[in-house]
């Protein structure tokens, strides 16, 4: 099973600040890494697929990078509405796995 480890677990950020979340895979997964945003009491929403491809309708301030074992989600100029928990997810192999999540709080 591929283990995904996100860091940090929690981040408190002021609006307009830049946010960087990392996801490390226990073995190489190529670019088969996706990022999801989950707001309280909502279902997850796809932000970035295959490490760097923005999903339709996602604001341009969200971007992703990386390949192999190390990946990054960047939120440029954080907005209040971006308060959420962010998860990485791999589709390289079964069982699919998720990172433990990174909660982003607005200061």
Partner 1 sequence: EVQLVESGGGLVQPGGSLKLSCAASGFSFSDSAMHWVRQASGKGLEWVGRIRSKTNNYATAYAASVKGRFTISRDDSKNTAYLQMDSLKTEDTAVYYCTRMTLIPDDFSLDFWGQGTLVTVSS
Interacting residues toward partner 1 by CB under 8 A: 1, 32, 34, 36, 38, 43-46, 49-50, 55, 87, 89, 91, 94-101
Closer residue to partner 1, CB minimum distance, 11 or 97: 97
Closer residue to partner 1, CB minimum distance, 44 or 68: 44
Tell me how far, at minimum, the Cβ of 35 lies from partner 1, in Å: 10
Structure tokens at 85: 């928990």
Residue 74 and residue 62 in contact, taking contact as beta carbons nearer than 8 Å: yes
Which DSSP symbol is given to 55? P
Closer residue to partner 1, CB minimum distance, 17 or 103: 103
Tell me how far, at minimum, the Cβ of 16 lies from partner 1, in Å: 28
Closer residue to partner 1, CB minimum distance, 16 or 95: 95
Tell me how far, at minimum, the Cβ of 100 lies from partner 1, in Å: 5
DSSP 14-54: -TT--EEEEEEESS--TT-EEEEEE-TTS--EEEEETTTEE
């Amino acid at each position: 099973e591929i283990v995904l480890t996100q860091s940090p677990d929690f981040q408190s950020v002021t609006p307009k600040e830049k946010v960087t979340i990392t996801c490390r895979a226990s073995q190489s997964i190529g670019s088969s890494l996706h990022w999801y945003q989950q707001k309280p009491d909502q279902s997850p929403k796809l932000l970035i697929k295959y490490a760097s491809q923005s999903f339709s309708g996602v604001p341009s301030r969200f971007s992703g990078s990386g390949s192999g074992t190390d990946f990054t989600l960047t939120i440029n100029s954080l907005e209040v509405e971006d308060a959420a928990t962010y998860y990485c997810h791999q589709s390289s192999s079964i069982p699919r796995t998720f990172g433990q999540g990174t909660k982003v709080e607005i200061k």
